[in-house]
Structure 1
């Protein structure tokens, strides 16, 4: 229940219109002395509508009857509310049909038919159908055919005038009072978003993804209208009943009244959309692709609510909750569970001066939590100065928050998510987060073969999309890159600009070689791209599959991380962390702090010198040569035993040859394992001596607040880990 509704309830009690029992399970309508079960969802809508008729529309309680029998042929139905023209209740004036909030759009349409049939039977003049979240009003013609005529509102008591529109900024236009938009709470707004989406989806008329996209566009129009409508002017994002006088008089003669209303409403929405797009063309590049009837369905749900003034937490969580239920379906891979997002952001020392980037931002969860963190800081710093409070967090949202998302539709969702949170969307771009950052970062030999490639790469630069995406610029990168995707050199010309796109050379290879890989996993490349974006001592918090930490084939990646970053923390997530979003990969959160180039070079040089020293002291090359000589001798002896080509076709020769290869491969592996162990022991000792050694925060979270299906468990071990890791990082940075 929002504040507006609570005020109505309180006033209704004060004026002896209603009465509740002690547990608020039952409501009594005092004038009719009727007691009803208030815990029934439909009864709550009924009570609110009853109070609105008296306290907002000023109808006397004596002219209102509830639960009134209506004779329909041979059967008797019950009208929820009938407002009469007289206190003797002889002349029905308005029929009101009340439905529960979570009614479907089809059920609402059926309720319209039902109410209209009551009205024609009772010869009433008006019909009001309401679910609490959505209202529709109709005039009932006296003459046949009695077709419904849409109106913006029912008349006030004592007035025969039908208002052209219902909602005016500030609630007053000249001397005349109108309704202003109302602020709504999170649970109701979530329901409104869901109902509006379902009205578009229509059980299959649009696929859920398209319906979500179109709803985003209309929410954008709604917010734009609220922000740009001066006090005393009617909002455009609402249903009007008056013919547009600027139109040619005969233009709509062939249209029904409802068709005309829908067309004119759609035209106003198109105009709002174009106005918004002129200022911010990157948010929505496509036109609205909805029929006037579908536009009206959504406007019916949203028109009376003030999204701009609704508390940021409420509308943000409402959109996130609604969005989350959608993303867990077809777009689950773009949704990082709130518990993980909150954990990562909470442990980092982000403030309003920090530059924050998500290189694969999905729906914008990390960015929004960073914004929320800074807004809470403003709450603490500026409790009485509203202007300083707003500037503190809004400047951060507008200038310091950045996101990249390769999927254009999801990027648009992220922007809308930011708009609903009152901006920050300007620096969210729909682009490939692994593309070169800027031209200067692309280094190729200047030859004819590479010139065309260089030109293509320069055009791909992220900086071309937004000049504020700079290398060595960001304080924090917080991201959950897509797992399992690969980048192929044949598809992305930029792949070999990455060091991690080359096969790792082992320091134990006698003939080192650097060979470009044909493909590389995106989660690996994002580790290097984050390094390019971060400033020195900047922090990367990234969700990674555990294979990066454990697979022997990815040792070169771990070596690269060791040279580029200080490892601050590794926090293991449960196997089920992403199961409910459609991903079952075991993962961890890695916290890394970027080294300066000088520090990286120092570590590389140290490791290289140590490796060479160990190879010399252990006579590694001599031992490898000895093994090679012994292998060659055994192979020579074997070949002497099987001199002819036919002999070498024998199974016994093949088995003996394979046995020799396995024997020496094992000996080489054993020797190399011994060398690696010596190296690791010596490296650890020398790192400690030279001040290169450091503590790493390690934690395992087995329960992070939900199970494999996403159902809450009532326990979240990340809460405890957050406190400890936050202290650990704060002590270092």
Structure 2
């Protein structure tokens, strides 16, 4: 950052996305900034067309509209030339609010003679209106799906084509998911979990429709359909036909029953379809999809079994360090929402893309449709063969399948199972599915000594003293469930024949993951720090050293899992020793000598309340730097193409997780580790 121009942000302020002015950092401002980014990046308006906090003349009053958009960047920016008005409120303000609701927006639109469009949003609700003059010569308003984009094409608002589908940007997909879920929760009288699964069905329909190439898109609801009962029924019939196709696909039969149906009211379904239809869920950036999806899953399906989902930045760090390869089998034995698996698959897809581009001799942006389809087939084949997820919670299994479907269809090997049960007690369905996917005889899955199937494991097992394992049949599979005695003279531990009365699940998961690895396989596992440091748990550390090469330990900040859990954790990276390595050490009576990579992550990008933390200067002020990831365009050249004429700026999250993998990669080279 030595050559980067840095701008200091005053305390409690943010830098406006459109005009660069400092504004108060409030919940309402968060909503407005998200809308502003959508106007530029999705709707393709020039920032020069947009004004923020624009003063209107309403009789003797002079209120300020949150956002106004003019016909073009060259139009005189007077009240008469306003085309669109947008009002943004914080989440707690309802659309029916007498002072700050949609009636305020309509009064602003009425005062602007050429304003045809208006939008009101609080981040959870969104209302769009088109102004017209009715048969009585009075100003009236029609509900619409969305405001028009810069090109003014209204057909795409009502029925998007494949070419017009947009990739979601920043937090807009999260906003949309929240809006849809909230609509179901409020208007259909469903509790959070049922509301989530109804939304899940609609998302499946959306993805199925996008995959149904080359047929025209059927996932849509026009503004007219949305606004009347007959139209709403038409939408429900149309989407129900797509859902029938979804249910009839073999890979979805463990998610939906054959007699399952969409239980939403026609009115709610039409609204949700209209909100989702403009986006391409298949092609939106995986990080944006993952953040939106995993946040809404976590808000609605989080259980009481020590389930604290891993932050995305930590998952990315772990996957980059463990570095799964194209032909390796990857498992998350406590898959939760599927974040680790999607992150691992994304990492390998990048390798696959580079190899495929080299094979074709053509970069990705020059591939034709045949090459793109061939690549997607390779990705899908890889996902079906090499990616596995287990979870005891059937709702989370469904949620993980959905996450994998949104990210190149690796849903086939996400299975419900209590990973700690003795293998002979695994259900028949689970053993059959696992054996088929691995290409083995299921009769070979006999006990804890015969389940070493996976090259890489990345996982965050449930942990906590509130959910101990007491079942004798489970405990007797594990060395670490026995009582160990310490010889103080030699400072060594010896396992006895006696079982402990109860054991925290994370201890058993360490050993189960080792059992699931092939010899030489490696894992990255999130664990509470007491396993690595508590004096009474020294036997665990001795067992770890005997059975693994300890590759690395990364100490995470105490706020990593906040705001829901303040347990101090680390990520432990282990490589399972082969039988030959263990025999050689036992014969020589000495352990192999090697170095261990150690790191401490002091900053994880958020505080204990979950609020983002940004880098500051020496005086403690937040800073802005140029945003190279966002191309903001303001003008046109003579041939009509857009040109970059404005430098967008962004805050920098204070997060050290991205610093660790490149340092580890250099260390790994010096140590001669080939993976």
Normalised TM-score (structure 1):
0.61
The alignment partner of 1:705 has SS state of coil
Q: Report if the CA contact (8 A) 2:129-2:143 is conserved.
A: yes
Q: Determine which of 266, 282, 300 is the counterpart of 2:254.
A: 282
Q: For each residue in 1:412-447, what CA deviation from the matched residue of structure 2 results, as whole angstroms up to 9, or x when unmatched?
A: 22222222222222212232222344x4xxxxxxxx
Question: How far is 1:479 from its partner?
Answer: 1.0
Q: Distance in 2 between matches of 1:586 and 1:141?
A: 64
Q: Distance in 1 between matches of 2:140 and 2:573?
A: 66
Partner in structure 2 of residue 254 of structure 1: none
Q: For each residue in 1:474-503, what CA deviation from the matched residue of structure 2 results, as whole angstroms up to 9, or x when unmatched?
A: 11011111111545444x844433343332
Q: For each residue in 1:105-133, what CA deviation from the matched residue of structure 2 results, as whole angstroms up to 9, or x when unmatched?
A: 94289866667799999999x98757699
Which protein, 1 or 2, shows the higher relative CO under an 8 Å CA cutoff with sep ≥ 6? 2
Q: For each residue in 1:554-581, what CA deviation from the matched residue of structure 2 results, as whole angstroms up to 9, or x when unmatched?
A: 3443343333x22232414145153414
Partner in structure 1 of residue 313 of structure 2: 339
Q: Determine which of 417, 420, 429 is the counterpart of 1:434.
A: 420
Partner in structure 2 of residue 459 of structure 1: 427
Q: Distance in 2 between matches of 1:541 and 1:433?
A: 17
Q: Determine which of 159, 174, 179 is the counterpart of 1:167.
A: 159
The alignment partner of 1:580 has SS state of coil
The alignment partner of 1:368 has SS state of helix
Residues 1:705 and 2:647 aligned together: no
Q: CA 1:729–1:42 in structure 2 vs 1: closer, same or farther (change >3 Å)?
A: closer
Question: How far is 1:300 from its partner?
Answer: 3.0
Q: Report if the CA contact (8 A) 1:152-1:164 is conserved.
A: no
Residues 1:348 and 2:322 aligned together: yes
Question: How far is 1:524 from its partner?
Answer: 1.5
Question: How far is 1:357 from its partner?
Answer: 0.4
Q: Distance in 2 between matches of 1:76 and 1:591?
A: 62
User: More helix by proportion, 1 or 2?
Assistant: 1
Q: Distance in 1 between matches of 2:242 and 2:262?
A: 11
Q: Distance in 2 between matches of 1:721 and 1:163?
A: 51
Q: Determine which of 346, 351, 356 is the counterpart of 1:372.
A: 346
Q: Report if the CA contact (8 A) 1:96-1:115 is conserved.
A: no
Q: Report if the CA contact (8 A) 2:160-2:277 is conserved.
A: no
1:93-492 correspondence to structure 2 within 5 Å: 98-100=86-88, 106-107=94-95, 129=119, 136=128, 142=135, 166-170=158-162, 180-202=164-186, 206-228=190-212, 230-231=214-215, 233-239=216-222, 241=224, 258-279=228-249, 280-284=252-256, 287-320=261-294, 333-383=307-357, 384=362, 386=367, 387=371, 389-391=375-377, 393-437=379-423, 439=424, 457=425, 459=427, 462-467=430-435, 468=437, 471-484=451-464, 486-490=467-471
Q: Distance in 2 between matches of 1:42 and 1:581?
A: 23
Q: Distance in 1 between matches of 2:254 and 2:186?
A: 29
Q: Report if the CA contact (8 A) 2:90-2:122 is conserved.
A: no
Q: For each residue in 1:611-638, what CA deviation from the matched residue of structure 2 results, as whole angstroms up to 9, or x when unmatched?
A: xxxxxxxxxxxxxxxxxxxxxxxxxxxx
Shifted more, 204-213 versus 39-48: the winner is: 39-48
Q: Distance in 2 between matches of 1:730 and 1:135?
A: 59
Partner in structure 2 of residue 588 of structure 1: 570
CA RMSD of aligned residues (A): 5.1
Question: What 5-or-longer segments of structure 1 have no aligned partner?
Answer: 1-22, 27-38, 54-65, 84-93, 157-161, 172-179, 244-256, 440-456, 607-685
Question: How far is 1:600 from its partner?
Answer: 4.0
Partner in structure 2 of residue 695 of structure 1: 594
Structure with the greater alpha carbon radius of gyration:
1
Question: What 5-or-longer segments of structure 2 have no aligned partner?
Answer: 1-17, 22-30, 46-53, 72-81, 439-444, 446-450, 616-653
